[in-house]
Structure 1
Amino acid sequence: MTFPAPYDTWFPDAAFDSTYGFDESALRRVRPVAAPPGLAETWRRWRAEAKGVDAAPRTLSSETVEGREVSVVEHAGADGIRLRSWIVGPATGAARVGIVHSHGYGGRDAIDLARVPDDAAAIFPVARGLPTLNAGVGAPELVEQHVLAGLDDPDRYVLGLCARDLWLAADTLLAAAGDLPLYYVGESFGGGIGALALPWDDRYIGATLIVPSFGQYDERLAVPCLGSGEVVRAHVAAHPEAREQLRLFDASSTLGFTRVPVRVEAALWDDYVPPPGQFGVANAVRDLDLEVLPAGHAEYPGSDAAAARAVRRGRAHLTRALRAAS
């Protein structure tokens, strides 16, 4: 199998062409999936219901990491289950902004401060069911079970619950750090659930979504991948009615309702989250800062420098969003 340059030399042993035949020009033309009737009303109902849930945070432990106070906290999820997260205070003084910083489908075993400025407080929520803090809590741990859990019931579908849990994580951060403007950071799984949750929470001033998942299911379901999308593709092939069940949870459909500036870091090659899905999410944004990455979910020549550059530009986007909101 021959791949387009430079991927033929970067990933010669890849199982398939993870550009899926799209160049950057074609990716920029991928249309978001139109929101089905009732999408906004359903998500607004869920947001209203979450406002009635007391996060009731409780600190379980604290330590100092890189000069910052880091605590493990327990708090309510959208349906009242108890979840655990890390909360990080600012390096010095009072925080100017609060960051809700999600993770990929592997979960999280430690905090990562690369995208958290010194003058920010942050919460690092761990999605229900996922390691390390919430393994098996409220959802199956295994990805192939997790991504399908509750799909037949919109109120119980795990991706919707994970997105709704982010609202309670934000409540928990603000209870600890005070009334702050919020900024969202999420990668892959976290990018997708952030795109589901962000439009309905008016506390946010902006977001960065890195190689976001769960977008443009028309494209995702048409191609193979190595990530959770392959599980969903196989399920829909066996149960065609599931395509309709996914419509409320398409990140390209929900993100079109967002009015705040959003930065999307989308990849031209990615065998875990197909690029047409990522760009479907990006192309839904009204106020878009797009960074095109050579590849996602992979190391390649120059990837460390590209990642460092993306972090710098992501921090700059946060600064601009904070300035515009003040």
Structure 2
Amino acid sequence: MSEFEHGYPFDPAYGRTLDELLDIPAPAPPDGFDAYWQGRFAAAAGVATAPAVGPQEDERDGCRIFGVSYTSVGGLRIGGWLVLPAEGPAEHGFVIGHGYGGRQEPGAEVPLPLPRSAAILPCVRGMGSRSRRPGIPGEAEKHVLYGIESRETYVIGDCVADLWCAASALLELVPELRTGAETESGTGGDAGARLGYAGESFGGGLGALALPWDGRFACGQLTVPTFGNHPLRVTLPCVGSGEAVRAYHEEHPEVMDVLAYFDAATAAGRIEVPMMVAPALFDPAVPPPGQFAVYNALPDRRELRVLRAGHFEYEGESADVAALAEARREFFAARLG
């Protein structure tokens, strides 16, 4: 029984105990999984991102906030925000993904996970207030289906590339972060790297897909990550983008051949850097079995912070959010500080 009262026509805990959730595996990779993603990273790494910084828009929490844009794969300009220390040089850097509601402005991401940091907060293509593009739906339920007919056209692959190009743009704009941070693709990072990744929900799933192939990141933190264990996810009713994919699969079962290349749990098994994952026991939008599949797949150097609920308001939520923020700070401080 869930600890929460709710009005959903399904159980957002999906009848699983914590022990059962910790036993959920990742699907086996499809043929050519690694080569596919290595090729996509190589293409993104070759993009001249040409970042452009706008006027300062805000200053708070020890940070100066600017508008920023950069070029990603396909020549698309991606918008977002650049965050710099109010005083002194940046000592570490972050790329911070957003949820499937998009990013309308820098919100809870500032203050950054660590002081004296620089970060890019991108709006991936089609999403948020700064990367709306003609032809790419901005609503989560439509965006998640855009180009889903093939792995070459599926928008999720390009959104992952938007994160890689964000890292390239950040390193160009804040060159003091370059030392030791650029390695060959697929090496999983090195001791000198000073880039961290943080992402929640949609941004958590994208992060799991991005991190195995980009050695510039030293560590990552994922909260209620989506896209984990697609074969199981499409059997679980939910709300939002996940339900859109489930409904599409009912009419087009062959889509599993495409989704296999975009499984966050499968990708997580290839992440070699330290990770902290915060999956939820109760979540109507991102079924917890998929979230835990991402954590379970991580090979080692992993930390688990179990949340009571995700995508759901409840009494005591603010205290739980604050506790996770402190745990995230400690995690990054130990690896980037």
| Structure 2 counterparts to residues 111-260 of structure 1, below 5 A | 111=106, 112-136=109-133, 139-180=136-177, 181-260=194-273
Amino acid at match of 2:167: A
Partner SS state of residue 61, structure 1: strand
CA distance in 2, matches of 1:77, 1:170: 11
Among residues 80, 91, 100, which one is paired with 1:85 in the alignment? 80
TM-score normalized with structure 2 length: 0.91
Q: Where does residue 315 of structure 2 map in the other structure?
A: 301
Q: Per-residue deviation at 1:14?
A: 3.1
Residue type at the aligned position of 1:146? H
CA distance in 2, matches of 1:17, 1:91: 46
Q: 1:312 aligns with which of 326, 331, 334?
A: 326
The corresponding residue for 1:29 is 23
From 274, 277, 295, the equivalent of 2:287 is 274
Q: How does 1:53-92 map to 2 (within 5 A)?
A: 53-66=47-60, 67-92=62-87
Q: Which moved more, 1:71-80 or 1:229-238?
A: 71-80
Aligned residues between the structures = 317
Q: Distance in 1 between matches of 2:222 and 2:252?
A: 30
CA distance in 1, matches of 2:92, 2:200: 20
**Counterpart Cα distance in 1 of 2:243 and 2:112:** 30
CA distance in 2, matches of 1:155, 1:82: 20
Q: Which consecutive residues of structure 1, in runs of 5 or more, have no partner in the other structure?
A: none
In 1, Cα distance between the equivalents of 2:142 and 2:105? 24
1:261-285, Cα deviation, whole Å (9 max, x unpaired): 1100000000000000000001111
CA distance in 2, matches of 1:6, 1:241: 37
- Distance in 2 of aligned mates of 1:32 and 1:137: 35
The Cα shift of 1:64 comes to 3.3
Q: Which runs of 4+ in 1 moved over 4 A?
A: none
Query: Secondary structure of the equivalent of 1:257?
Result: coil
Q: In 2, Cα distance between the equivalents of 1:12 and 1:50?
A: 43
1:175-225 Cα distance to aligned partner (Å, 9 max, x none): 111242210000000000111111100000100100000111122101100
Residue 65 of structure 2 contacts residue 83 of structure 2 at CA under 8 Å; is this kept in 1?
yes
After superposition, the Cα gap between the structure-2 partners of 1:138 and 1:252, relative to the gap in structure 1 and judged at 3 Å, is: farther
- Offset at residue 96 of structure 1 (A): 1.3
SS of equivalent to 2:236: coil
Distance 2:11 2:231 in 1: 19
**Aligned Cα RMSD in Å?**
1.4
2:313 counterpart SS class:
coil
Post-superposition shift, 1:138? 6.4
1:13 deviates by 2.6
Distance in structure 2 (CA, Å) of the matches to 1:228 and 1:255: 21
Cα distance in 2 between the residues matched to 1:280 and 1:295: 16
Unaligned runs of 5+ in 2: 178-193
Paired with 1:130 and 1:297, the residues of 2 have a C-alpha distance of: 19
Please name the residue that 2:303 is paired with: 289
In the alignment, which of 98, 101, 104 is matched to residue 106 of structure 1?
A: 101
CA distance in 2, matches of 1:70, 1:282: 32
Asked whether the 8 Å contact 1:81–1:138 carries over to 2, the reply is no
Tell me the TM-score normalized by structure 1: 0.94
Q: How far apart, in 1, do the equivalents of 2:10 and 2:41 lie?
A: 40
Aligned partners of 2:95 and 2:121 also within 8 Å: yes
